[in-house]
């Protein structure tokens, strides 16, 4: 991200040069100037400064993200991003922003949610399509980051010891032994998230419903890993162990 301009507006000989800045080819509105005493020392209001920086640098705008979330996402994922198993909507709160952005883009681009057997993914695709551009995605994801990160309810039971033996040499390599994820290898956090959703996604990777699209350049990491989980019992055991990492 580019550094912030110093001192509010750039000045040359007392002239306001803020109009020369551009964001993605669009003219940036001139920042209104305010004077404390009516003299020559002008100041920029905090509200206008934040708006100006958002336009120039593409910073997320939480108010817009909140409006989008409450309108398009909260109905299924919950007002606090806690998820809803009845509506097949996983927990979002607490997940890394880079991962949420990637998945929303995947849904928009048809990389996810288009497989004929991905019935629940098909529910997400039209919702993601309502996010007009990267700015809209950034805004809604930024708002999700403000939601309370409370662990999702435990709904999966399994052999935790067997799950640990399976997790450490497979999932733990990328997602970390504590299940908190590793950005450097594109592995999101797992612990504390909707366990039923983790089971479904592991099954989807194993069956080719997810991760097989030619444009999913990170899917191969998962499709190769799940081969070490021979059946649904192994998947359940792994997720039961992930639950123990909370």
Number of neighbours of residue 246 by Cβ within 10 angstroms: 12
Which tokens hold the place of 212?
Answer: 């097989």
Q: Does 5 have pLDDT greater than 80?
A: no
CATH homologous superfamily of domain 151-246?
Cytochrome c-like domain (1.10.760.10)
pLDDT at 106 over 90: yes
The rounded distance, in Å, linking the Cα atoms of 102 and 16 is 39
Domains 45-150 and 151-246 share a fold: yes
Provide the CATH topology of domain 45-150.
Cytochrome Bc1 Complex; Chain D, domain 2 (1.10.760)
* Strand partners of residue 33: 44
pLDDT at 53: 54
Paired tokens of 157: 């039971």
How many other C-beta atoms can be found within 10 angstroms of the C-beta atom of residue 167? Answer: 26
**H-only helix segments in 11-96:** 46-57, 62-68, 74-77
Per-domain boundaries in the chain: 45-150, 151-246
Instruction: Supply the pLDDT for residue 15.
Output: 42
Residue 152 pLDDT level (bands cut at 50, 70, 90): very high
Q: What is the CA radius of gyration of the chain?
A: 22
Judged against a pLDDT cut of 60, whether residue 8 lies above it is answered with no
Phi, psi at residue 187, to the nearest 5°? -110, 115
State pLDDT tens for residues 21-50. 333 434 444 444 444 444 444 456 665 665
Q: What is the pLDDT of residue 29?
A: 42
Per-residue model confidence (pLDDT) at position 207: 95
């Amino acid at each position: 991200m580019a550094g912030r301009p110093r001192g509010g507006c750039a000045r040359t000989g007392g002239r306001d040069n803020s109009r020369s800045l551009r964001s993605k080819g669009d003219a940036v509105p001139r920042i209104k100037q305010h004077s404390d005493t009516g003299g020559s020392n002008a100041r920029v209001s905090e509200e206008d400064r934040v708006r100006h920086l958002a336009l120039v640098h593409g910073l997320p705008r939480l108010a817009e993200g909140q409006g989008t979330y409450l309108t398009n996402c909260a109905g299924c994922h919950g007002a606090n991003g806690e998820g809803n198993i009845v509506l097949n909507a996983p927990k979002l709160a607490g997940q890394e922003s880079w991962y949420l952005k990637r998945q929303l883009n995947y849904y928009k681009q048809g990389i996810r949610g288009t497989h004929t057997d991905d019935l629940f993914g098909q529910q997400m695709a039209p919702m993601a399509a309502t996010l007009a551009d990267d700015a809209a995605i950034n805004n809604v994801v930024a708002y999700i980051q403000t939601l309370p990160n409370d662990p999702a309810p435990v709904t999966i039971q399994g052999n935790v010891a067997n799950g640990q033996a399976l997790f450490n040499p497979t999932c733990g390599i990328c997602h970390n032994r504590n299940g908190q994820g590793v950005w450097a290898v594109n592995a999101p956090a797992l612990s504390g998230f909707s366990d039923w959703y983790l089971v479904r996604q592991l099954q989807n990777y194993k069956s080719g419903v997810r991760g097989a699209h030619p444009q999913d350049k990170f899917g191969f990491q998962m499709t190769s890993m799940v081969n070490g989980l021979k059946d649904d019992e192994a998947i359940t055991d792994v997720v039961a162990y992930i639950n123990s990492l909370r």
